[in-house]
């Protein structure tokens, strides 16, 4: 039997969410392959009425170790890491001179490897010991496999902290941002990249489920890849950053193809063409699948 916990909004603490739909292993094809097939595991997807944060409630507490295979992690990406992470570093370097940069949840170390080539003093944290080992072997980078708090960096130590597709995995974002603020120098930069729960693709998928008479929500994926129980949009990310005295300097909403994610889902040709079209349309109208934010510590 899996265990759950009823929670308040992790961003603002409110306990008055709006129900968006259900998500479970029988409500998503393929999810049952990851979990016990016989047991129906299901939860609700909700949106906080106060700040817009999207989360699963109840929270499924039985975690799946889905980020422990460095060889397969980038199987959904077809973009050269130097192109992908070069774009991000270009954004950062327009705002701050090169100095100390920390990448939290740094995977196999490609972002830090490129940052080092460009003259940054690099630091990395990665909870997966396998990924940390891969970063050391492939990129020659020493990655600490501990939490940000356990790393115990000095106050005001970093010029930049980067969260590349990491914040959506953090269970306590308020505490996490508080610790980032502590280790980041005044006027230092925080870069955040997260999936956008307000994307056009997700809105169309939600409409499709309603037309089909299903009370499902496509917004999160607690039981299948990429195993997200939390989701952000421009409103909720601004609320979170404001609450920790970060001022947004730049906000971008991008097409997921520009982030390197393949839009062919393995389905029929017409389905893939439609997905590609919607993804590009969403990016053009500011309703893309990826949200990027650069914020300054005040």
Same structural domain for residues 23 and 160? no
Could you say which of 182, 209, 231 is where a domain stops?
Answer: 231
Same structural domain for residues 147 and 84? yes
Same structural domain for residues 37 and 127? no
Measured over all CA atoms, what is the biggest interatomic distance in the chain, rounded to whole angstroms?
55
Can you tell me the distance from the alpha carbon of 143 to that of 127, in angstroms, rounded to the nearest whole number? 10
Res. 291: pLDDT tops 90: yes
Kindly indicate the confidence band of residue 90, based on its pLDDT and cuts at 50, 70 and 90: very high
Res. 39: pLDDT tops 90: no
Average pLDDT rounded to a whole number, residues 4-30: 89
Between 84 and 194, name the one with better pLDDT: 194
Between 123 and 33, name the one with better pLDDT: 123
The predicted pLDDT at position 71 comes to 58
Res. 212: pLDDT tops 80: yes
Can you tell me the distance from the alpha carbon of 5 to that of 80, in angstroms, rounded to the nearest whole number? 40
The predicted pLDDT at position 75 comes to 40
User: Is the Cβ–Cβ distance between 260 and 84 less than 8 Å?
Assistant: yes
What CATH number did the domain enclosing 270 receive?
A: 3.40.50.150
Same structural domain for residues 89 and 107? yes
User: Rounded mean pLDDT of the chain?
Assistant: 86
Same structural domain for residues 127 and 223? no
Same structural domain for residues 266 and 146? yes
Can you tell me the distance from the alpha carbon of 27 to that of 218, in angstroms, rounded to the nearest whole number? 10
Residues 6+ apart with CB under 8 A from 284: 255
Same structural domain for residues 218 and 167? no
The predicted pLDDT at position 76 comes to 43
Same structural domain for residues 219 and 260? no
pLDDT, tens only, 153-186: 999 999 999 999 999 999 999 999 999 999 999 9
Q: Name the domain count of the chain.
A: 2
Element (H, E) at 271: helix 269-284
Same structural domain for residues 103 and 186? yes
Find the domain containing 176 and state its range. 70-196+235-297
Same structural domain for residues 136 and 48? no
Q: Write phi, then psi, for 279 (nearest 5 degrees).
A: -60, -45
Same structural domain for residues 204 and 183? no
pLDDT, tens only, 226-274: 889 999 999 999 999 999 999 999 999 998 776 655 545 455 677 667 7
User: Is the Cβ–Cβ distance between 143 and 203 less than 8 Å?
Assistant: no
Between 130 and 183, name the one with better pLDDT: 183
User: Structure tokens of 149?
Assistant: 């708090």
Same structural domain for residues 272 and 129? yes
The predicted pLDDT at position 118 comes to 96
């Amino acid at each position: 039997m899996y265990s759950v916990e009823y929670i308040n909004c992790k961003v603002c603490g409110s306990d008055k969410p709006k129900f968006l739909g259900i998500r479970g292993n029988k409500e998503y094809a393929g999810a049952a392959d990851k979990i016990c097939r016989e047991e129906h595991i299901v939860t609700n997807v909700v949106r906080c009425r106060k700040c817009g944060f999207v989360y699963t409630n109840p929270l499924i507490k039985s975690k799946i170790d889905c980020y422990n295979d460095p060889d397969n992690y980038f199987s959904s990406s077809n973009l050269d890491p130097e192109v992908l992470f070069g774009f991000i570093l270009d954004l950062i370097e327009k705002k701050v001179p090169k100095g100390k940069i920390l990448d939290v949840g740094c995977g196999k170390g490609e972002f830090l490897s490129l940052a080092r080539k460009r003259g940054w003093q690099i630091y990395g944290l990665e909870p997966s010991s396998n990924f940390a080992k891969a970063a050391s072997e492939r990129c020659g980078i020493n990655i600490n496999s501990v939490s940000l708090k356990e790393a115990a960096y000095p106050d005001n130590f970093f010029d930049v902290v980067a969260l590349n597709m990491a914040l959506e995995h953090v269970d306590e974002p308020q505490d996490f941002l508080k610790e980032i603020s502590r280790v980041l120098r005044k006027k230092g930069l925080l870069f955040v990249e997260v999936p956008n729960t307000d994307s056009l693709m997700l809105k169309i998928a939600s409409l499709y489920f309603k037309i089909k008479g299903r009370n499902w929500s496509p917004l999160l994926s607690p039981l299948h890849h990429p195993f997200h129980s939390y989701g952000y949009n421009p409103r909720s990310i601004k609320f979170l950053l404001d609450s920790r005295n970060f001022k947004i300097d730049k906000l971008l909403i991008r097409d997921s193809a520009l982030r390197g994610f393949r839009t062919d889902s393995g389905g029929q040709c017409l389905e893939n063409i439609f997905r590609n079209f919607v993804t590009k349309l969403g990016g053009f109208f500011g309703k893309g699948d990826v949200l990027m934010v650069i914020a300054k510590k005040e």
